[in-house]
A and B are shown apart, each in its own frame.
Chain A
Amino acid sequence: MSCEEAMVTNVISITQDKTVADALALFEEHSIRGVPVLNGGDRLVGLFTIQHVLRRLLPEAAILKDQPRLRNVDVSLDNFHGSRALVAKRLKSQKERTIGEVMIVPDTVLPDTPLREGIRLLEKYGSPIPVVEDKKTNKLVGVITSQSIIRQLNTMEEAN
């Protein structure tokens, strides 16, 4: 079984020049949590998810996991009460940024990538994972999401 069989093809996407506010409106409108970023045509250039928004609401000092000796440390923000204004201010400034500034370059799968590899990547990086026609052109053909895979597996089980 390949990723092609479990992917969603009517993908909602965004372009790099749009803002975070635009993306958040898309998330709300379509009840989704992430969008592939396209170059204006059908070429995949990045990924932007709600997870990235959440990360940017936190102070940098609380998320230094890549620093040596801080890997095992959770800097708790439990002691900071009354920080609502700070978080709101940060969200406001994030909303104005363009998607090109804040997107990440995601791991992708090909349509014939085995589904188990797709599940492994979803577990590692979170949903969605873009499916591209080939890694050179990066032409987006769909996305696999946690739900799309479970749905496909359920359908197969019922058919059996």
Chain B
Amino acid sequence: MLEETLQWDTAMLVSAIIFTITFVGIFTESVHELHRTKVAMLGAAAMVLAGQFFGFYNPELAIEAIDWNVVFLLGAMMTIVAIMIPTGGFQSIAYLIARISDGRLYLLMIMLGIAVAVISCLLDNVTTVIIFGPLIALICQALSVNPIPFLLSASLFSVMGGVATVVGDPTAMMIGSAAKIDFNTYLSHMLGIVVAAFATAMVMLRFLFRKNFKKVALEPQFAKGTGIQDKKTWFASLTVLAVMVVLFINHSAMHWEPWVVACIGLTMMVMVTYSVNLDRYLSEIELSLLMFFVSLFVIIGGVEQSQFLEYLGGFFRPFVEKDLFWSCIALMWIAAILSAFIDNIPFTAAMIPVIMGMESQGINVTPLWWALAVGAGFGGNGSHLGSTANIFIVTLTERMAKQENKPSLAITPGLWLRKGTPVMFGTLAAASVIMWLFFDFYEAPLPK
């Protein structure tokens, strides 16, 4: 038994103390206002030094602990999108939707939701919201309608879309990379859940914002024409993205990790967009986020070496062995509720070694990966602080409210609790039902 083989020792105690203090520091960023990356860097340094002193960790092991697949994948995807945004292509999609919806507001929300979710499948969902948020605000202003339902739903759908693929969201990248889940396997397991969640959210939003969907007369405000400022770069980027999708679908067969596809895509993109100023776009990479990942991996690496999380996992083992389905549902809901209030990236980083520890003990952990992916993903919708996408949208509405001198235009924490949180619970319920109906499918071991 695991409990018999793993004994509590000094290494575990030291790593547990550093891990706990660092994670508490990360989760309480809003209290002490020390950036989460700074806290993580301090924790990583402490872990390496303490590990060397107590003999359970060292700089070589720390370098090995960093999941470079995630770091390169994220960095490359951020650069790709930074090249695409200024072309105006995304703007043209938003305006096309505004024209087609022709003042039918619920249709406008559905179409914007689909666009945001589909784009978020491939591109980071924060980016999707950063692109679409201001455009939605402008479209609503032109239609003289309250932008809150549209902005809030865009944030919800971008988070949901990100759950669908292994490259759609940083937590998905971490889970996919750690569990060696390829693009197709991830998509085939997540797509059904995301589609069910999307449909549930649409119905719920129709009800929650029922007073906001009266048809408005569309004045001739949306000019015809594409509005694309740099057609050459936009269409070249779309072609490269299409090639990347094909490569993602086949990456496992070619023995490539997803980062290889992303970097090939980025290289193709900078070659076909010949005149692109690389420095300008590379400066758009959120280096603090990448540094956060590197530091987290170093911390988690130390905890893994000391076997603390494996030890911790031993306590969950009896529950998982007793009832795998309900363990999955519990993990999904706990992960979601925690992710609504704390950063889901470090939470996922900590859960990964716990699950891997159970796997090494011969337990079938496959459904736990899916449960974690759904919980940590959808959980972002639970509060106004649940995801970076939500924070951006809330900030945008606060600024608009200030400019227009209309406090009602701001999305408050209370408003999110009334309109966003129920949607998160609805999507979790939908995901739980899908998992229950097709548990044999989710339980089947991953193809190796």
Q: CA of A80 to CA of B143 in the docked complex: distance in angstroms?
A: 10
For B223, what are the chain A residues with a Cβ–Cβ distance below 8 Å? 78-81
Q: Contacts A80-B222, A81-B220 known; A60 to B400 CB distance under 8 Å?
A: yes
Interface residues on B, range: 35 or more
Q: Is A81 within 8 A of B221, CB to CB?
A: yes
Q: Is B396 within 8 A of A82, CB to CB?
A: no
Question: Which of A61, A76, A78, A82 touches B137 (beta carbons < 8 Å)?
Answer: A61
Residues 76-88 of chain A: 1 if any B CB is under 8 Å from the residue's CB, otherwise 0? 1111111100100
**B130 lies within 8 A of chain A by Cβ:** yes
Which of the candidate stretches B163-171, B234-242, B280-288 sits at the interface with the other chain? B280-288
Q: Is B82 within 8 A of A69, CB to CB?
A: yes
In the complex, the chain A residue whose C-beta lies closest to that of B140 is: A61
B134-173 interface (Cβ within 8 A of A): 134-135, 137-138, 141-142
**B86 lies within 8 A of chain A by Cβ:** yes
Q: Contacts A61-B137, A64-B396, A81-B223 known; A72 to B85 CB distance under 8 Å?
A: yes
Q: CA of A67 to CA of B399 in the docked complex: distance in angstroms?
A: 12
Nearest Cβ on chain B to A65's Cβ, whole angstroms:
11
Q: Is B227 within 8 A of A78, CB to CB?
A: yes
Q: Is B229 within 8 A of A80, CB to CB?
A: no
Q: Is B284 within 8 A of A72, CB to CB?
A: yes
Q: CA of A49 to CA of B133 in the docked complex: distance in angstroms?
A: 29
Q: Is B222 within 8 A of A61, CB to CB?
A: no
**B360 lies within 8 A of chain A by Cβ:** no
For B405, what are the chain A residues with a Cβ–Cβ distance below 8 Å? 93
B72-95 interface (Cβ within 8 A of A): 81-82, 85-86, 88, 91, 95
In the complex, the chain A residue whose C-beta lies closest to that of B91 is: A76
Q: CA of A68 to CA of B135 in the docked complex: distance in angstroms?
A: 16
For B134, what are the chain A residues with a Cβ–Cβ distance below 8 Å? 61-62, 64, 70, 75
In the complex, the chain A residue whose C-beta lies closest to that of B289 is: A68
**A71 lies within 8 A of chain B by Cβ:** yes
Q: CA of A67 to CA of B286 in the docked complex: distance in angstroms?
A: 12
Q: Is A60 within 8 A of B403, CB to CB?
A: yes
Q: Is B400 within 8 A of A73, CB to CB?
A: no
Q: CA of A83 to CA of B400 in the docked complex: distance in angstroms?
A: 17
**A33 lies within 8 A of chain B by Cβ:** no
Q: CA of A80 to CA of B400 in the docked complex: distance in angstroms?
A: 18
Q: Is B142 within 8 A of A69, CB to CB?
A: no
Q: Is A79 within 8 A of B396, CB to CB?
A: no
Nearest Cβ on chain B to A54's Cβ, whole angstroms:
14
Question: Which of A59, A61, A80, A93 touches B221 (beta carbons < 8 Å)?
Answer: A80
**A95 lies within 8 A of chain B by Cβ:** no
Nearest Cβ on chain A to B231's Cβ, whole angstroms:
14
For A80, what are the chain B residues with a Cβ–Cβ distance below 8 Å? 138, 142, 221-223
Question: Which of A61, A73, A77, A86 touches B396 (beta carbons < 8 Å)?
Answer: A61
Q: CA of A69 to CA of B128 in the docked complex: distance in angstroms?
A: 11
**B219 lies within 8 A of chain A by Cβ:** yes
For B229, what are the chain A residues with a Cβ–Cβ distance below 8 Å? 74, 76
For A93, what are the chain B residues with a Cβ–Cβ distance below 8 Å? 405
Q: Is A72 within 8 A of B82, CB to CB?
A: yes
Q: CA of A125 to CA of B358 in the docked complex: distance in angstroms?
A: 60
For A72, what are the chain B residues with a Cβ–Cβ distance below 8 Å? 82, 85-86, 280-281, 284
Q: Contacts A61-B133, A83-B221 known; A76 to B284 CB distance under 8 Å?
A: no
Q: CA of A62 to CA of B139 in the docked complex: distance in angstroms?
A: 11
Residue pairs across A and B with Cβ atoms less than 8 A apart, 23 shown, are: A56-B403, A59-B141, A60-B137, A60-B396, A61-B137, A62-B138, A67-B130, A69-B130, A69-B286, A70-B134, A71-B284, A72-B85, A72-B280, A73-B85, A75-B134, A75-B138, A76-B229, A77-B138, A79-B223, A80-B221, A80-B222, A82-B221, A83-B142
Enumerate the 6 nearest inter-chain pairs by beta-carbon distance, A residue then B residue, closest first: A61-B137, A61-B134, A60-B403, A82-B221, A79-B95, A60-B400
